[in-house]
Chain A
Amino acid sequence: MAKSSLHIAKHIVLLIIIFSGLIIPCRGEAQTREQLLKAGYIEKFTHFVDWSKNPHSNDSLFKVAVIGDKKFSMALEQIFSKTKVNEKSVKVTYITSVDQIKDNLILVISKSVSNDKLDEILNYTTGKTILTISEKDGYGVRGSIINLIVVDEFIRYEINRITLGKSGLKMNSLLIKSGTLVGKVDSND
């Protein structure tokens, strides 16, 4: 009895392997733990910023755009599908060009975005009430308002006080105190 059971089991195992082999070689689309944690940070940031000066602050939806890595937008969708900002549902959109930024209040710039592309984006957003959030070393100094970085396996963030000032957005002092300020103030600005 035990032998025949083993025989049946072998066939079942073989079928599972064949079945798995047919469907496994597909590229994955899950976001990483790091991206999910960064999405958590971005959700927390929304509560420490005064959005009233943004012309789209009274829209029915709170809009967030992601440029660069699509998986980052999935992480944000997971977080924002379960929570609201100022009692409003959040719409997360993945965009590929600057002219799609439009009525978004937050623009997330993933680390896959090149320096040149970043400059193009910042040329468009600087001076507007759009909160730019990047995630690559150096992008904070380059002009992104908030830059999420990994330090000793923990996520930390930089705030560029120059571009923050230009944006007209008001940030809670607690948020500013917990981050690292970057950007010189003694230049032509």
Chain B
Amino acid sequence: MKRLFLLLLIGVNCFSNVFAQEKDTLKADDIIKMSFTDLMNTKVISASKVQQEIKDVSATVQVITAEQIKDRGYFTLEEALGDLPGFQFRNINGFNSYVFLRGAPSQNNLILLLVDGVQINELNSGGFYGGGQFNMSNIERIEVVYGPSSTLYGTNAVSGIINIITKSSNWGKKGQISMLGGTFNTGMMDFNLRNYNDENEVAYSISGMYKVTEKADLRGVNGDNNWSDEMENFENDLSLSAKLRIKNFSAGVVYQNKKSSMTTNTKSIGDKYFDRNTLWNISFLNGFVKYTNNKSKRITYNSTLYYRNATVNPNTVNNIVKATDTTSGNQVGNYRPNHLIGLDNQLIYSPFEKLMIIGGIIGEIEQLSDGFSISNSNSQFVSPPAPAKPNMLNNNLFSYYLQLNYKIFNKLSFIGGIRHDFSSYYGQVLTPRAGLVFNTDKFTAKIMFNRAFRAPKPWDYEFGSGNESLKPENMHSYELFTSYSIFKNLSLGASFYRNLINDKLTLDISGSDVRWVNKNKLNTFGFELYGNYSSKSLSLYANYTYTDSYEQEGILIPEISMHTANAGITYSFTSHIKANLRANYLGGRKNPLQIPSTGNDKIDAAFLLNGAISYNDFHGFDIQLKVNNFFNEVYYHPSNRFAGRYRQPQRTIMLKVTYNLFR
């Protein structure tokens, strides 16, 4: 491995004769959309922690733009992430789906999900919720930062960060209304409105979405005989959001509600559970108020007060046990409230041109359930009463962080940082990082060392027989990223990384005694290769991911495929008609348990073809026909819940009509 990095370093040094020029994520399209005032307010050099140009960030970053979301008709967050390198999934087609980045299977608690910079991971588990509750029409871009980022974000930023940036109100009066209908009783309505007033420096945006879908046919043999022919599987999602900016103050609130059946959580055929009438009802409320002062040329100050709430509502019916000849069965209700309030004060200081220092102090107070509060109805046919409020656990957190970016030469920067976290539960964690970024107009190389951690949540200490000595999982990561623009519109890139997660939180079962312990390791070596081409009417992308995740040499981690690849093409036939075709290849992988229907533990490789054709700007209307899984491929995702696998959606067809307001 040392030789490998030495070779890469030599390669980087060979490129020092490349001439420097500035390149940017700011595009001609963005500039054309700007008003004269917007232009006058746009800096020639973008600076600050969150607005760094991608090439300057000491991490591998991929971006999905609003245009790509629209052209490709992404219906869920997972669909969008599925075309990027490095991602794999365990979609249970039910109340949640799980996103794995860079070879680390999890319950979504190794990735941070942010909306406009505010974390929305569920508080009790630390995992975020996948599925349909994101209003894709209101997304300006999705930024994926690969690798650990605990130095800035603390716990859970282990495999990477997904930052959803919602549409900005800076482009003047804009708005859209959409309706969608499709197979599997899929329907959706969404809207967004935004505007700003130059003179008063006031901007606002509001958006909403309601979505219903049954996702796939999982009945009987279609679902691998895990469920009956009458099984019920639905998901209804509501999303409402608002943002307001007045001079230096901004505020935002996002409310999401997901109601879905819990059928796919367990098997019903061959098990005691009933596969209808369950309800998972979880609500997320996240809000922030932010003050920014950047009047000084050298100092920017940000202060953000935020609130997070992720409550499993008390009318949740987690499971229904079937009645038998001798028992009446029962319905099990759940309730799990929690909330957090935090304050993040950040200072960005550039004492001279070559140096930027970012420092911050964060305080958080969270109140979490000590577990699910449970109620029973004592009958299969009677709804459970609302559970009582569970005992609440208090966790107080204090953190400070410091990061500096120093430009050693014109093309070479050093990035170093450290974060110190204190928790009333898991104690102290120190997280350092260091990296070098080499940039020219065409070539970028980044060499990075990062550490990250995932802290046990308060209820983990008390789970089962309890374990007071639990400590955070920690990751060491080494990475090299290179990208190169061969022509004006063609770029190639590659990331190579080695990750090691120590002290993994592992369920320790001995007899009837269950508890979490720090045990096992997860080693991952991987690389991602990608290429993008775009011209006025044609855009192409392709990526390949190699992932080798193992506990120890020779023992592969289940659920992770070694080889995945994606490719796509979008072509504009005229200024109105656009079509795209996208392919996903997911190599074979190992299921955690033996699958009864196949008699082995293999999940077969799958090749999927998806596409969409759009007619845009027809008297203000955009019309799109979208097909997922063109060839109706029968394919599966692994299950870590029961001995079996999860059938994925059959061919899905959707038609969407959007009306653009204030054209």
Whether the Cβ atoms of A3 and B527 lie closer than 8 Å is no
Docked pose: A179 CA to B194 CA in angstroms: 29
- Residue among A14, A16, A24, A25 facing the most chain B CB atoms (10 A cut-off): A24
Whether the Cβ atoms of B441 and A178 lie closer than 8 Å is no
B43 interface residue, CB < 8 Å from A?
yes
A17 interface residue, CB < 8 Å from B?
yes
Q: Beta-carbon contacts of B14-46 to A below 8 Å, as 1s and 0s? A: 110111011110101101101010011111111
CB-CB under 8 A from B525, the residues of chain A are 2, 5-6, 9
B507 interface residue, CB < 8 Å from A?
no
A182 interface residue, CB < 8 Å from B?
no
Whether the Cβ atoms of B442 and A24 lie closer than 8 Å is yes
Q: Beta-carbon contacts of A62-83 to B below 8 Å, as 1s and 0s? A: 0000000001001000110111
Whether the Cβ atoms of B45 and A153 lie closer than 8 Å is yes
Whether the Cβ atoms of A40 and B7 lie closer than 8 Å is no
In the complex, how many angstroms separate the beta carbon of B556 from the nearest chain A beta carbon? Answer: 7
A40-B440 in contact given A20-B482, A154-B40 (Cβ < 8 Å): no
Closest to B47 in A: A153
- Residue among B19, B32, B536 facing the most chain A CB atoms (10 A cut-off): B32
A34-B36 in contact given A17-B11, A28-B442 (Cβ < 8 Å): no
In the complex, how many angstroms separate the beta carbon of B417 from the nearest chain A beta carbon? Answer: 25
Whether the Cβ atoms of B548 and A33 lie closer than 8 Å is no
Docked pose: A57 CA to B442 CA in angstroms: 39
In the complex, how many angstroms separate the beta carbon of A117 from the nearest chain B beta carbon? Answer: 23
CB-CB under 8 A from A156, the residues of chain B are 40
CB-CB under 8 A from A153, the residues of chain B are 43-45, 297
Closest to B445 in A: A20
A36-B28 in contact given A2-B550, A25-B15, A44-B39 (Cβ < 8 Å): yes
Whether the Cβ atoms of A25 and B18 lie closer than 8 Å is yes
Whether the Cβ atoms of A3 and B441 lie closer than 8 Å is no
Docked pose: A71 CA to B19 CA in angstroms: 14
Docked pose: A84 CA to B39 CA in angstroms: 18
CB-CB under 8 A from B46, the residues of chain A are 33
Of B154-162, B208-216, B484-492, the one contacting chain A is B484-492
In the complex, how many angstroms separate the beta carbon of A77 from the nearest chain B beta carbon? Answer: 9
A contacts with B, residue count (CB < 8 A): 46
Whether the Cβ atoms of B14 and A30 lie closer than 8 Å is no
B546 interface residue, CB < 8 Å from A?
yes
A29 interface residue, CB < 8 Å from B?
yes
B188 interface residue, CB < 8 Å from A?
no
In the complex, how many angstroms separate the beta carbon of A163 from the nearest chain B beta carbon? Answer: 22
CB-CB under 8 A from B34, the residues of chain A are 40
A124 interface residue, CB < 8 Å from B?
no
Closest to B23 in A: A30
Docked pose: A127 CA to B184 CA in angstroms: 70
Docked pose: A36 CA to B26 CA in angstroms: 8
In the complex, how many angstroms separate the beta carbon of A135 from the nearest chain B beta carbon? Answer: 12
Whether the Cβ atoms of B39 and A13 lie closer than 8 Å is no
Q: Beta-carbon contacts of B476-500 to A below 8 Å, as 1s and 0s? A: 0000001011101000101010000
Whether the Cβ atoms of A21 and B546 lie closer than 8 Å is no
Whether the Cβ atoms of B494 and A40 lie closer than 8 Å is no
A103 interface residue, CB < 8 Å from B?
no
Place the interface of chain B in its size category.
35 or more
A150 interface residue, CB < 8 Å from B?
yes
A39 interface residue, CB < 8 Å from B?
yes
Whether the Cβ atoms of B31 and A40 lie closer than 8 Å is yes
Docked pose: A176 CA to B495 CA in angstroms: 50
Docked pose: A146 CA to B12 CA in angstroms: 43
Whether the Cβ atoms of B36 and A178 lie closer than 8 Å is yes
Whether the Cβ atoms of B553 and A3 lie closer than 8 Å is yes
Whether the Cβ atoms of A82 and B554 lie closer than 8 Å is no
Whether the Cβ atoms of B19 and A33 lie closer than 8 Å is no
In the complex, how many angstroms separate the beta carbon of A89 from the nearest chain B beta carbon? Answer: 13
A185 interface residue, CB < 8 Å from B?
no
Whether the Cβ atoms of A79 and B32 lie closer than 8 Å is yes
Whether the Cβ atoms of B548 and A81 lie closer than 8 Å is no
Residues 46 to 66 of chain B near chain A (Cβ within 8 Å): 46
Docked pose: A79 CA to B28 CA in angstroms: 5
Residues 13 to 64 of chain A near chain B (Cβ within 8 Å): 13-14, 16-17, 20-21, 23-30, 32-34, 36-37, 39-41, 43-44
Whether the Cβ atoms of B548 and A6 lie closer than 8 Å is yes
The one of A9, A17, A44, A154 in contact with B41, judged by C-beta atoms closer than 8 angstroms, is A154
- Residue among B40, B45, B492, B546 facing the most chain A CB atoms (10 A cut-off): B40
A152 interface residue, CB < 8 Å from B?
yes
In the complex, how many angstroms separate the beta carbon of B604 from the nearest chain A beta carbon? Answer: 19
B562 interface residue, CB < 8 Å from A?
yes
Closest to B440 in A: A28
Whether the Cβ atoms of A30 and B488 lie closer than 8 Å is yes
The one of A13, A25, A36, A79 in contact with B8, judged by C-beta atoms closer than 8 angstroms, is A13
CB-CB under 8 A from A27, the residues of chain B are 19
The one of B4, B43, B485 in contact with A30, judged by C-beta atoms closer than 8 angstroms, is B485
Closest to B11 in A: A17
B443 interface residue, CB < 8 Å from A?
yes
A155 interface residue, CB < 8 Å from B?
yes
Docked pose: A32 CA to B45 CA in angstroms: 10
Whether the Cβ atoms of B40 and A39 lie closer than 8 Å is no
Whether the Cβ atoms of A1 and B554 lie closer than 8 Å is yes
Whether the Cβ atoms of A13 and B7 lie closer than 8 Å is yes
Whether the Cβ atoms of A40 and B39 lie closer than 8 Å is yes
Docked pose: A177 CA to B443 CA in angstroms: 42
Which residues of A does B touch, CB under 8 Å? 1-3, 5-6, 9-10, 12-14, 16-17, 20-21, 23-30, 32-34, 36-37, 39-41, 43-44, 71, 74, 78-79, 81-83, 150, 152-156, 178
Which residues of B does A touch, CB under 8 Å? 1, 3-4, 7-8, 10-11, 14-15, 17-19, 21-24, 26, 28-29, 31-32, 34, 36, 39-46, 297, 440-443, 482, 484-486, 488, 492, 494, 496, 523, 525, 527, 529, 536, 546, 548, 550, 553-554, 556, 562
Further pairs besides A13-B496, A43-B31, A155-B44: 5, Cβ < 8 Å? A25-B18, A26-B18, A28-B18, A28-B442, A79-B32
**Would you give 24 A-B contacts (Cβ < 8 Å), ordered by A?**
A1-B556, A3-B553, A5-B562, A10-B3, A20-B15, A20-B482, A21-B11, A21-B14, A21-B15, A24-B484, A25-B18, A28-B440, A28-B442, A32-B21, A33-B45, A33-B46, A34-B22, A40-B28, A40-B31, A71-B21, A79-B28, A81-B536, A82-B29, A154-B41
